[in-house]
Structure 1
Amino acid sequence: MKTISSLLSGAAAVALLAAGAASAAEWKFALEEQLNEVQGVFATRFKEHVEANSDHTVAIFPYGSLGESADVTELTQLGAVQFANASPGFMGSEIPELNVFLLPYTLPEEGPVLADFFATSPTIYQDLAARYEDQGLSLVVMYPEGEVVMTTKEPVASPADLDGVKFRVMTSPLLVETYRAFGATPTPLPWGEVFSSLQLNMIQGQENPMFFVESTKMYEVTDHITYAGHNVYTTAVVANSAFLDGLSEEDRAVVDAATQAAFEHIMEYQEGLTQRAEDMILKAKPDMNVTVLTDEQRAPFRAAAEDVRATYVEMVGEAGSKILDGFAQDVAASRERVGD
């Protein structure tokens, strides 16, 4: 079984630009978030480990400094950037199987099981990793960033409450299908337009992990936060494949160890992160309404999710069924190891 520490074998593709970057003293790491957010915390620990154990430096580029997510992915494919976050929500158009991470009620909800799953899943580190290599990228690691919550103008306790609500989603057919199944009017928008669109009531809802709701001040333009337990935001760290193939055994070992250290750190960092972010939101906006849906209230959302799973299989085909089966097996194995 491949795990995080053994994954970084990379593809054999060679690009002149990437090969040149392999020997450079500075490695570039581009994010989809800011330095004080989860991806920035991971990248900072990765940087600290690399710089303490090699003669390389790591330059971190927060969201926006090198363009949007698509721009960063392209720069990584070209080898101008060595490492980057390329989350499944953005890469799903290139790698359809990755849309599995957008399916509601698919990932384990228990923290220890979730951590073990992301550390060990052969479906991630074999099947899905191979699909990244088709894009000239190597999957370094995947990790969760916290439970996704809905933030809306009006309270949400059932799919009926989303009727007529224009709900922002990433430009993903699966997310569009998810919120259509949940009863909303899904509205794909670039992230940079979300705050103003909520402010102007052009949309009435969006979803993100709680820490991101707090750091981006989404609570200022919405009045209700709902925990429906439907998903956990997942991100992926990728590297230019030719860059990894050009590393010496010593440098490859440094990358592996830095990845492992950063993964362990980010999982510890996230313990209590959602609650801390919620507390900060309520301090800043005491009249913000926070609702945790009961199992009974979640039941119709779970039922709607079955239609989305069918859409995923229809979109991806036999490979999609294989990924879903693999996830089920991997989650069961994690539960057995963890003891839940």
Structure 2
Amino acid sequence: MKKFMTVAVALCVLLLATSPQANEYTGPPMKSKLATEDLEGDFMTVWSQKFSEEMKQWSGGKIDISVFPYGSLGDTRDINELCQFGVIDYVVTDYAWISSFVPEAQVLALHYIWPKERAPEVLAWVVKNGKFMAALENAFRRNDLVPLGIIWEDWMWITSKTAINKRADLKGMKLRLMSSKVLVDQWKAYGASPTPMSFGEVYGGLQMGLIDAQMNPIFADYSMKFFEVTDFFTLTYAEAYLGIPTMNKAKFDALPKNAQDKMRAFWAEATISSAKWIEERNSADMEKIKKERPSIEFTQLDDEKIAEFSSIAKANYEKFDAIGGPDAKLVRETLLSDIANAKKALGME
């Protein structure tokens, strides 16, 4: 009996030693390209490089991802298309630019869906515990893509040539937005004159008067020097800038499951840590802007003004269902339900 037990234990040890473990990559070596819509040193590019390093270490060097910052492989629309067609394996983009391929992604552009306080925590809960990611993935898969997560890049600020202290100040303002029908319709409802424009054309557009204002998070306003050609910064808390790390569907489905799980886990865990990183970066860049152009005025709308904007935005939510793709109603209702559940779970209600 003792001899039998010894043999059994030996067999178990041998099986454990030879069977794939959760942290063992069993697929073939992969050399991949990942394109982002941020410059070198900016949020998407920095966190894509962290993702690349993590996957390389985890796979023992077999998963080798080269990261290409904004402009290296084309403009924002170009890199999404390259990923959809499998020319590159990964893209890290925002909800607006990818909406040309996956219109349902625009649900993340709906105004005032995120709470003013603790929004990154709410997003992290939605990604990890909600039903939204599965609903969004169905829409992405229909277009040969797979979302790996959603990352918080902080609130969008309006930078303008004239002050914005109330909704009436937006009337007729030529406001550059990312390319999204949902965004255009929302800003029209406030009285603005939305003007979609490529990221690389914004500085010149402001300089030449083709647009009066534009929207971006602070780090982009500093990196792209938009503060040089505008005089007022306004925070409405209407929308957050969110990134969607995405992979080509065929390339993702060819991966071993433990590699798929590892990629999703990286971005899920990065939601909070990357939010802290970018909030610190935005704070530092705001101080740089103030130092370089002390005349710039920074304004945050108070709760009364926000309530006015919010009531207009929420009255338009259902319009998304008609323009947000075949799964629009499902993804909208699922996201809003997840956000409500997140706030309850986090003790915010």
Q: Indicate the TM-score class for this superposition, using the shorter chain for normalisation.
A: 0.7 to 0.9
Deviation at 1:256, TM superposition (A): 4.1
The answer to whether the Cα contact below 8 Å between 1:49 and 1:261 also exists between their aligned partners in 2 is no
Residue 124 (structure 2) pairs with residue 119 (structure 1): no
Deviation at 1:274, TM superposition (A): 3.0
Instruction: Output aligned runs, 1:200-219, within 5 Å.
Output: 200-219=208-227
The answer to whether the Cα contact below 8 Å between 2:35 and 2:69 also exists between their aligned partners in 1 is yes
Deviation at 1:281, TM superposition (A): 1.2
Residue 99 (structure 2) pairs with residue 78 (structure 1): no
The correspondence for 1:26, drawn from 25, 28, 31, is 31
The correspondence for 2:312, drawn from 304, 309, 316, is 304
The answer to whether the Cα contact below 8 Å between 2:80 and 2:91 also exists between their aligned partners in 1 is yes
The answer to whether the Cα contact below 8 Å between 1:115 and 1:267 also exists between their aligned partners in 2 is no
C-alpha spacing 1:212/1:93, structure 2 compared with 1 (3 Å): same
Report the residue type matching 1:39 in the other structure.
M
Return the alpha-carbon distance in structure 1 between the equivalents of residues 287 and 317 of structure 2.
34
Deviation at 1:237, TM superposition (A): 0.8
Secondary structure, in 3 states, of the residue corresponding to 1:109? coil
Which residue does the alignment assign to 2:46?
41
Secondary structure, in 3 states, of the residue corresponding to 2:238? coil
Superposed CA deviations along residues 197-232 of structure 1, whole A, max 9, x for unmatched, are 101112110111111111111111100000111010
Return the alpha-carbon distance in structure 1 between the equivalents of residues 310 and 272 of structure 2.
31
Larger Rg: 2
Which residue does the alignment assign to 2:57?
52
Secondary structure, in 3 states, of the residue corresponding to 1:228? strand
Residue 170 (structure 2) pairs with residue 165 (structure 1): no
The answer to whether the Cα contact below 8 Å between 2:177 and 2:183 also exists between their aligned partners in 1 is yes
Return the alpha-carbon distance in structure 2 between the equivalents of residues 331 and 257 of structure 1.
20
Deviation at 1:161, TM superposition (A): 0.5
Return the alpha-carbon distance in structure 2 between the equivalents of residues 301 and 264 of structure 1.
28
The answer to whether the Cα contact below 8 Å between 1:181 and 1:307 also exists between their aligned partners in 2 is no
Question: Normalised by the size of structure 1, how large is the TM-score?
Answer: 0.86
Return the alpha-carbon distance in structure 1 between the equivalents of residues 261 and 134 of structure 2.
19
C-alpha spacing 1:191/1:58, structure 2 compared with 1 (3 Å): same
Report the residue type matching 2:190 in the other structure.
F
The correspondence for 2:300, drawn from 287, 292, 295, is 292
More RCO (CA 8 Å, sep 6+): 1
Q: How many residues align?
A: 319
Report the residue type matching 1:137 in the other structure.
L
Superposed CA deviations along residues 225-282 of structure 1, whole A, max 9, x for unmatched, are 0011101011111111111222234544543454345445313313433322221211
The answer to whether the Cα contact below 8 Å between 2:126 and 2:338 also exists between their aligned partners in 1 is no
Structure 1, unaligned runs of 5 or more: 1-21
Report the residue type matching 2:43 in the other structure.
V
Residue 188 (structure 2) pairs with residue 180 (structure 1): yes
Residue 62 (structure 2) pairs with residue 68 (structure 1): no
Deviation at 1:159, TM superposition (A): 1.6
Return the alpha-carbon distance in structure 1 between the equivalents of residues 206 and 105 of structure 2.
28
Return the alpha-carbon distance in structure 2 between the equivalents of residues 256 and 314 of structure 1.
30
Secondary structure, in 3 states, of the residue corresponding to 1:272? helix
Secondary structure, in 3 states, of the residue corresponding to 1:321? helix
Secondary structure, in 3 states, of the residue corresponding to 1:116? helix
Secondary structure, in 3 states, of the residue corresponding to 1:168? strand
Once the two structures are overlaid, the 10-residue window that deviates more, 146-155 or 299-308, is 299-308
Once the two structures are overlaid, the 10-residue window that deviates more, 158-167 or 270-279, is 270-279
The answer to whether the Cα contact below 8 Å between 2:152 and 2:271 also exists between their aligned partners in 1 is no
C-alpha spacing 1:121/1:170, structure 2 compared with 1 (3 Å): farther
The correspondence for 2:200, drawn from 182, 192, 202, is 192
Return the alpha-carbon distance in structure 2 between the equivalents of residues 102 and 250 of structure 1.
32
Once the two structures are overlaid, the 10-residue window that deviates more, 225-234 or 271-280, is 271-280
Deviation at 1:330, TM superposition (A): 0.8
Return the alpha-carbon distance in structure 2 between the equivalents of residues 77 and 336 of structure 1.
37
The correspondence for 2:237, drawn from 220, 229, 250, is 229
Deviation at 1:108, TM superposition (A): 2.8
Report the residue type matching 1:66 in the other structure.
L
Superposed CA deviations along residues 129-168 of structure 1, whole A, max 9, x for unmatched, are 1110111111111112110111110110112111221111
Return the alpha-carbon distance in structure 2 between the equivalents of residues 307 and 261 of structure 1.
34
Deviation at 1:194, TM superposition (A): 0.9
Superposed CA deviations along residues 301-332 of structure 1, whole A, max 9, x for unmatched, are 11221343242133348843333322222112
Report the residue type matching 2:286 in the other structure.
E
Structure 2, unaligned runs of 5 or more: 1-26
